[in-house]
Amino acid sequence: MRSMVQKLAEHPFMTEFVDEQLELIARGAGEVEFEEGAFLFREHEDADRFYLIVEGSVALKIHVPQTGPVPIQTLSAGQALGWSWMMPPYKWHFDARAFSPVKAIVLDGEYLRRLFQDNSEIGYRFLRRITMVLAERLQATRLQLLDVYQVAT
């Protein structure tokens, strides 16, 4: 049976981390599964975790006034999900719903924040990776909202 450190090392998001860092990160990690249609989280709820998708796909949606939920992006195995735990007010900015059965590694957000304070190298590497995720999400959101705006006019 593979250890959590091995599982983390195999995920593309974690490629910049060395074994000693993965061991520290693994202390705040677990595994979760979601059935198709289950919510991983909902917009405006408390954000306290970070997901590394191992299997399946997750649809991200944002609520747009007078339009309702608008799909932003579909994430699949090898991608990371959830950055709202990093900064106050620690609330989710999207809905995340399993588009198919999902297996993921889940990391405790509070544990990660404490770890980053104690180990700036891990924090720096993590922020470098999460910045790429944020840029991708912002671009996807921008394109979706442009589509919504064009339909509405």
- What pLDDT does residue 67 have? 77
Tell which wins on pLDDT, 140 or 28.
28
Q: Are 106 and 30 in contact (CB under 8 A)?
A: yes
Domain that holds residue 95: 4-152
Kindly report the CATH number assigned to the domain that includes residue 81. 2.60.120.10
Residue whose pair of structure tokens reads 């997901």 in the numeric block: 51
Residues 6+ apart with CB under 8 A from 30: 4, 105, 106
Per residue in 86-97, pLDDT tens? 999 999 988 999
List pLDDT tens digits, range 10-63: 999 999 999 999 999 999 999 999 999 999 999 999 999 999 999 999 999 888
For residue 101, what is the enclosing H or E element?
Answer: none
First-last CA distance in the chain: 55
| Unique residue bearing structure tokens 């608008």 | 70
Structural domain tally of the chain? 1
- pLDDT above 80 (res 142): no
Q: Give the global pTM.
A: 0.88
